[in-house]
Amino acid sequence: MALTTGSLIQEINKGNLALPDFQRDYKWQDDFIVELLRSIARGWPIGSFLLLEQNGKTRLLSREIVGAPRARSKPHLLILDGQQRATALYQALTGKGKRKTTFYVNMAELRQANEVTDEAIDALPDSRFEKEFGKGIDAHAEAGVIRMQDLVSSSSFANWLAHVSESKAEQTVFADLKDAHLANFSGYALRTEAVSSELPMEAIAKIFERTNRSVLKLDAFDLMVAILYPHGFNLRKKWEAAKTSFPLLLEYEIAGVEVLKVIALREHLKQRAELDKGRIKKMTVGGVRQSDVLALDPKLVIKEWSKAVKAYSQALELLKDDCGAIRRQIIPQHSMLLPIADALFGRTKPIAKTSRVKLGRWFWAACFQRLYARGANTRAVMDAHLLRQWLARGGATPELVDEFSITDDAFSTVDDGNDLAVAATVCLLNTLEARDWATQSSKRGKGRKLVDTPESTNLAIHHVFPLEFLASRVRRPKSAAEVPANQVLIDSGLNGSIRNSPPSSVMKNAKVVVSAMKSHLIDPATMRADNYDSFVKQRSALLAAAARRAVTP
């Protein structure tokens, strides 16, 4: 569709041109808009507009440009790239919107210079504009200025001319100035590029992300909001309600797309079973990636949404209560929640204790073998299938659990998935009733259990032998500080105060509950001696033994 500055305004007013609902509101500063107006008046390029054709079939939920009349239920075009420029032009040339700024042309300056100077096109806050030039077209004409919305309106411009001078010759001078230097505000040809709505939703998302790389990352949840809206299902409101009903979703800052992944996971497993039986020829949902979420049937999402929300929340609860993941940042890998949610999906009664134990054993085996360090989404699909088989009556123990093996080196060296291993380590210690080191949380001189710390208490990972100490005192590489055996979870305030202190100094610190260290499988004697090698060797052996007991009780 060919667009000019004039027809752009017309199409927006008609509701034919709108924004996809997933666009976020961004506000250009006045000087950006003024520069855009000057560029248009001078005929300079202002970039192209990327438009998504709707072809009479609404695939995306839309909303109007700020200040414009409500968009049609089925606008013909949606702006993928160019929201700022379109909104700026619309508000400047119509005077609509919440912006309390007047954009104007100084016709007296334009007449004197006979070219578009920076002084000829400018903007002022409404109150200041009125103070300098008065109210109404007659006052503006006397001052030699005209608002943009009056310039582009034929009737308003004619009224302005009538107040400039009674002389027809004088009026003709200003009319000619408009035609020579300001005609682009109505007839400037905009460069547009159309994108067919027949493209897959994932491709549309990628196009949007590429053109808005510095502004907004678009995910499948935003697109699903738009896809489901015509079906009478407001996914965004449903998600806000879900976080109210299941507070853990809010506490752990879960993104709504994770719930959609649960539905995608289950649909994938269903389709794979049907493919194996020859009931279908191909699968439309290949896993839990963005493209798979977008391939879901809207009716299926609506049907399964509530169950998926509940199952995901229950998976979080299990990780928190059974696996020591008491804070979002120490969940080893969020993709691991998907197989658990699948296992809990649709249950009307609490899961049996034996099944909970199995889920825990799988969790520890997968964590300490670092199976989710790479290809986490693919692994989640594979493990969901394995867990379904294991939890079924008479199901065989998965190989990753049955043949679990771990050496001390897993805790004394840095390898792929080290962050995952560190998170799993502190989670495991939480299940063993690890206690906080901070005296302010002390209880009977032992320190409060970390699992009992209030949600408002910030926790942080502490390096027992700090990097600076290792580099200056015992000449170890930077990686030495990052091995899992050298890290513990403690109160973040205490962590900040002892961060770079040698272990021997920490032992003498009045803010530290020394007895709490044993609950982290730490021998205080190795800390008093500042002996890194002895400390890591001894603690690695204890951690490896604890991991083996967790997987093979």
In which band, very low, low, confident or very high, does the pLDDT at 206 lie, cut at 50, 70 and 90? low
Report which of residues 175 and 203 the model is more confident about: 175
My answer on whether 377 and 425 are in the same domain is no
My answer on whether 425 and 535 are in the same domain is yes
- Domain-embedded: residue 36: yes
Per-residue pLDDT tens over the stretch 180-203: 999 999 999 999 988 887 777 667
In this prediction, residue 205 carries a pLDDT of: 66
Residue 416: how many other CB atoms lie within 10 Å: 10
My answer on whether 423 and 393 are in the same domain is no
pLDDT above 70 (res 445): no
Domain stop point among 174, 190, 206: 190
Report which of residues 56 and 505 the model is more confident about: 505
User: Of 56-65, 184-193, 344-353, 445-454, which gets the smallest average pLDDT?
Assistant: 56-65
In this prediction, residue 405 carries a pLDDT of: 95
In this prediction, residue 211 carries a pLDDT of: 58
Per-residue pLDDT tens over the stretch 282-320: 999 999 988 899 889 999 999 999 999 999 999 999 999
In this prediction, residue 199 carries a pLDDT of: 74
Which residues span the domain enclosing 332?
Answer: 219-397
- Domain-embedded: residue 402: no
In this prediction, residue 99 carries a pLDDT of: 84
The whole-angstrom separation of Cα 546 and Cα 484 is: 14
Domain stop point among 138, 172, 190: 190
The residue among 107, 100, 155, 152 whose CA lies nearest residue 130 is: 100
Contact 256, 239 (CB under 8 A): yes
- Domain-embedded: residue 162: yes
In this prediction, residue 498 carries a pLDDT of: 92
My answer on whether 141 and 258 are in the same domain is no
Report which of residues 232 and 385 the model is more confident about: 385
The residue among 11, 131, 161 whose CA lies nearest residue 75 is: 11
My answer on whether 224 and 149 are in the same domain is no
pLDDT above 60 (res 444): no
pLDDT above 90 (res 439): no
- Domain-embedded: residue 266: yes
My answer on whether 308 and 454 are in the same domain is no
User: Of 72-76, 257-261, 340-344, 462-466, which gets the smallest average pLDDT?
Assistant: 72-76
Residue 374: how many other CB atoms lie within 10 Å: 10
- Domain-embedded: residue 14: yes
Q: Is 427 left (phi over 0), alpha (psi -120 to 50) or beta?
A: alpha
Local structure of 17: helix, strand or coil: strand
* CA max distance for the chain: 101
**Residue 34, phi then psi, degrees to nearest 5:** -60, -45
Domain stop point among 331, 362, 397: 397
My answer on whether 24 and 153 are in the same domain is yes
- Domain-embedded: residue 164: yes
Average pLDDT over residues 7-13: 95
Calculate the alpha carbon distances from 538 to 425, 436, 513, 526, 551 in Å.
15, 21, 21, 9, 21
DSSP-H helix ranges across 277-352:
290-294, 298-323, 337-344
Domain count, the chain: 3
Average pLDDT over residues 156-164: 95
- Domain-embedded: residue 64: yes
In this prediction, residue 215 carries a pLDDT of: 44
Residues 6+ apart with CB under 8 A from 105: 120, 121, 145, 146, 148, 151, 182
Average pLDDT over residues 202-230: 67
DSSP category for residue 452: G
In this prediction, residue 208 carries a pLDDT of: 64
Per-residue pLDDT tens over the stretch 232-290: 899 999 999 999 999 999 999 999 999 999 999 999 999 999 999 999 999 999 999 88
In this prediction, residue 290 carries a pLDDT of: 83
Average pLDDT, the chain: 91
Per-residue pLDDT tens over the stretch 475-534: 667 788 999 999 999 999 999 999 889 999 999 999 999 999 999 999 999 999 999 999
pLDDT above 90 (res 73): no
In percent, how much of the chain has pLDDT > 90?
74
In this prediction, residue 131 carries a pLDDT of: 95
In percent, how much of the chain has pLDDT > 70?
93
My answer on whether 340 and 446 are in the same domain is no
The whole-angstrom separation of Cα 22 and Cα 233 is: 15
Report which of residues 480 and 150 the model is more confident about: 150
In which band, very low, low, confident or very high, does the pLDDT at 452 lie, cut at 50, 70 and 90? very high
In which band, very low, low, confident or very high, does the pLDDT at 216 lie, cut at 50, 70 and 90? very low
pLDDT above 70 (res 213): no
My answer on whether 100 and 237 are in the same domain is no
My answer on whether 231 and 367 are in the same domain is yes
My answer on whether 71 and 185 are in the same domain is yes
Contact 324, 313 (CB under 8 A): no
In this prediction, residue 209 carries a pLDDT of: 56
My answer on whether 431 and 390 are in the same domain is no
- Domain-embedded: residue 287: yes
